[in-house]
Structure 1
Amino acid sequence: MGLANTFGKMFMPKNKVFYELFEDVASVVKEIGQTLNLMVHESDKDKRAAILAKIEDLEHKNDDNTHRIFTELGRNFITPFDREDIHYLASALDDIADYIYATGKKIQIYSVNPNDTGISKMAELIEIGTSEIVKAVAGLRDMKNLHKMTEAMVKINSIENQADDVYDLSIEKLFETENDIKTLIKKREIFHSMETVTDKCEDAANVIESIIIKYA
């Protein structure tokens, strides 16, 4: 790196570093959500394995981005908003990716055919939720489009409520119709993991809402 670039980095607005990192993380989280939805609609186990490998790669990429946020947090005295909120938001976004990856692993390791109405609906809600996360995070950069940010957060909260309903109905149906206890336990774990993803989306939205209240 040339001397000019080095000085440029030193005097680069610190706010910009965090905004770019959060936008990168949100973008990867969205891609992981889309990829999980592809996985649950793939009937071939070998093809699902290839999709899971992509989810794993994305999850590792997200870990790297999250680590960079924490590194910048330790390096920079001045931050665009509360250090605590930066930490909470980075952790919540990382949790979304972790639980999506955990869901994919459970589907594959347990050899569960994800061709299930409840699983499909949950995956659809996760994909929508992660897409809305991108919109909410993008608004942090200048706080000018609060309406769009608020709209995204309302949708994320609605998705979490819908996921709770889908989870409850799916578990009820599972106990009524599934006679194999092993399959029941496996599917219940998958549903729980997916429902947790939507909880983590809501956690991220709540942190963003907190930032808006403090700084907008």
Structure 2
Amino acid sequence: MFKWLFSKDTDFYKLLGEQSKLTLQGVYALEKYMMTGNIEDGHEVNRLEKIADRKREELIDELDKTFITPFDREDIFNLSKAIDDILDYSNTTVKEMEAYNLQPTGELQEIVTVIKYSTDLIYKSVCNLNRDKREGMRQALKAKKYENEVENLYRENLAKLFEEEDIRYILKMREIFRHLSNCADKIDLAGDILGHIYVKMM
């Protein structure tokens, strides 16, 4: 029994890296959709979200079976959940736009591009968990700064949106902006969790 508990060798760094890479790929697909307006590009976000869900299930299954983890198992779970939520909100953004028959705008593209930059930093920070911890901390903190930029764009574009006369369009677009704001909130959360992990490691 003790041999099984202590010999389990699951690479959680690798699993988290794979999950965060899929999330980054999904955000790249979202950006492409915002540039082309092609719903097939949007469906790529959904495809990647399903693959990422399976990767998270694999991680949680290994977490349940593994006695010793490289850092706090609760931190592993929470970081994986925050990374998962980033892609979930990217996916629901596409779904809502398709349901409301909305086309991408320059404003949406601008927000998604900032989300891409910050998600890239989250991915790099995750990859540094077992490498360059100081650089990983710097990347996590920088990702949080980008989240502030998204929130500024959200408020600015929401104010402009209410200058429109079509009430239905206003309500629909407000939901899309809200999804992207929620996505940025999860990036901020992932940055917080990473910072918390790095503080305990350093």
Structure 1, unpaired ranges of 5+: 1-9
One-letter code aligned to 2:86: I
Q: Which aligned runs of 4 or more in structure 1 are off by greater than 2 angstroms?
A: 10-14
Cα distance in structure 2, aligned partners of 1:80 and 1:130: 23
What does residue range 51-130 of structure 1 map to in structure 2 within 5 Å? 51-115=41-105, 117-130=106-119
Question: After alignment, is 145-154 or 118-127 more displaced?
Answer: 145-154
Structure 2, unpaired ranges of 5+: 1-5
What is the CA-CA distance between 1:174 and the residue it aligns to?
0.4
What is the CA-CA distance between 1:118 and the residue it aligns to?
2.0
Cα distance in structure 2, aligned partners of 1:109 and 1:51: 15
Contact map agreement 1:118 1:167 (CA 8 A) in 2: no
TM-score by length of 2: 0.93
Cα distance in structure 2, aligned partners of 1:19 and 1:39: 30
Equivalent residue for 1:175, pick from 162, 165, 182: 162
Secondary structure, counterpart of 1:61 in structure 2: helix
Q: Percent of aligned positions with the same letter in both sequences? A: 29
Contact map agreement 2:30 2:112 (CA 8 A) in 1: yes
Cα distance in structure 2, aligned partners of 1:91 and 1:35: 20
One-letter code aligned to 2:174: R
One-letter code aligned to 1:130: T
Contact map agreement 2:19 2:55 (CA 8 A) in 1: yes
- How many residues end up aligned between the 2 structures? 197
What is the CA-CA distance between 1:26 and the residue it aligns to?
0.8
What is the CA-CA distance between 1:41 and the residue it aligns to?
1.0
Secondary structure, counterpart of 2:162 in structure 1: helix
Partner of 1:3: none
Equivalent residue for 1:24, pick from 7, 18, 22: 18
Cα distance in structure 2, aligned partners of 1:159 and 1:67: 29
TM-score by length of 1: 0.87
